[in-house]
Structure 1
């Protein structure tokens, strides 16, 4: 049996935080991007190619033979596992109660479900699921869902795993926001300290709807991590003292989150604009203070 929404909390503390709202706090992060992006070329696998060919015919598309023979063939579970390895061992107090996977490009292989892999790899078998079909804004949706589960279930730890997978046997975007040019994965271990208090610093909608909230959340922020959709999208003028980092192109989902690497402590706003969906999303995180910034 699956629950479509997080269970409602019956206890709402009457505190200042319950009025002002709370933002998630980043504990640490794991970054995985293979250095051999060219990768090892795969050997021809006629049986697997035939399965993909038949599947492609059902959807009116075709299989690219070079997708099997000229790509590194790193499936999504391997990339997610790399991010978990980079995150490092989890102490008992750090174990997440919910873990959400987010991605834009579909997986190359389907023999292992990545969300199931996360549940197997993480101590305590937390609730794990995936969010897709949200364009480049999938991680923002996934984070909000994870926070809502934590808020309503009295949980305090959550994990967001974001993956870009560049190996595809089907024709895909060769340029633009959705084009994945590199394999990359990010794992963000977060704390939710707000109990049942409202979530602050998050918004998603049409640009004209979400932009005022984004501008408001930027006030006093130490960092703006801007996705590629903001390079030519709605204009932003961060406050003096707010540092801006732009996402690297070719990383539809992970690019804007990778911009947090080595970021200084303080409040960070992450934002991106999906031009195809005409939706703007943003969220706010408290980054850990420490030498060298976020690791």
Structure 2
């Protein structure tokens, strides 16, 4: 288990502490969106199918037959590895010190832990773990935790990996905010330059409490990436920042993939989880020029 607030273990010069309103800086990112064509993937092993049946019995549901076995069957580690490939090779001095995986759709195959895969694939020995059970806001929670570790642990680089995995052995939402209709993964390599200064541009909670800060952040943004949860509220007044709406069917990765091809400046990302009735937002500093995704 890991604490969301790492112990403060660094001594930072006063100049670094004086930095106010620091936000994470995007260094580069990769987006992996495999083609849905090509037929079903390799069927799970009999032992895995038996685990699916036992879990279905435990929760009073059923295992899907054709709907599952006819799906792409790409496990979460495979999708995360694709995002790392899209990110490109990392030199030792580019490697993150902490990497966090975020997802809302559980994996159907549990023989490989994705966080362990990340640690194996990345240079050095980064702290790697996963965040889930936060609905579509899991990536926002994961980013806040990663930045907090960087802020308190004398770290300067962090990696956020977000995955949507569409093959599910049990009945789930066929449409709406939680339905994962495509396989997708995003990897964002970020820098933290703020020392121990407070993190700016982030918030999560009931919409009424978070909206004022979100509106204030949007006033200075170059881009607003809006998750599907914002299509039907809570109401956000128009701002000067150009708005990009997330593609439906990508509950976790959609809002982050909306950054693809974005140019420099500050980008505000936000989404509202209707089931949890919580709003989350964050601000990233984008690289100048043709920034964004590979």
1:94 equivalenced with 2:94 (yes/no)? yes
Supply the distance in 2 between the matched residues of 1:192 and 1:122 (Cα, whole angstroms): 18
Residues in 2 aligned to 1:173 and 1:219: alpha-carbon distance in whole angstroms: 35
Give the Å deviation of 1:35: 1.5
Cα shift readout 1:64-101 (whole Å, capped 9, x = no counterpart)? 11254211110000000000000000122210000000
- TM-superposed deviation, 1:3: 4.4
Partner of 1:162: 162
Name the structure 1 match of 2:203.
203
Q: CA deviation at 1:235?
A: 1.7
Per the alignment, residue 246 of structure 1 pairs with 245
Measure the CA separation in 2 of the matches of 1:50 and 1:97: 38
Of 280-289 and 43-52, the range deviating more from structure 2: 43-52
Match in the other structure for 1:76 = 76
- Counterpart of 2:292 in structure 1 is 294
Spell out the pairing of 1:130-141 with structure 2 (5 A cutoff): 130-141=130-141
Are 1:48 and 2:48 matched, yes or no?
yes
SS at match of 2:217: helix
What is the TM-score with the length of structure 2 in the denominator? 0.94
What residue in structure 1 maps to residue 30 of structure 2? 30
1:283 aligns with 2:290: no
Shift of 1:45: 4.8
Matches within 5 A, 1:121-132: 121-132=121-132
CA contact (8 A) 1:67 1:170 kept: no
Alpha-carbon distance in 2 for matches of 1:44, 1:89: 31
1:49-69 deviation digits (Å, cap 9, x = unpaired)? 222101221122211112542
Q: 1:3 to 1:110 in 2, by over 3 A?
A: closer
Q: Does the Cα contact within 8 Å between 2:16 and 2:196 map onto a contact in 1?
A: no
Work out the CA distance in 2 between the residues paired with 1:257 and 1:170.
Answer: 27
Determine if contact 1:26/1:190 at 8 Å carries over to the other structure. Answer: yes
Which consecutive unaligned segments of at least 5 residues does structure 1 have?
none
Residues in 2 aligned to 1:159 and 1:60: alpha-carbon distance in whole angstroms: 37
SS of match in other structure, 2:188? strand
> Structure 1 residue 218: deviation in Å?
0.6
Counterpart for residue 21 of structure 2 = 21
More moved, 227-236 vs 275-284 = 227-236
RMSD, aligned CA? 1.7
Residues 43, 220 of structure 1: CA spacing in aligned structure 2 closer, same or farther, 3 A cutoff? closer
TM-score by length of 1: 0.94
Change (3 A) 1:45 1:15: closer
Equivalent position of 1:187 in the other structure: 187
Q: Equivalents in 2 of 1:38, 1:205: separation in Å?
A: 41
Classify 1:9/1:279 alpha carbon distance in 2 versus 1 (closer, same or farther; 3 Å). Answer: same
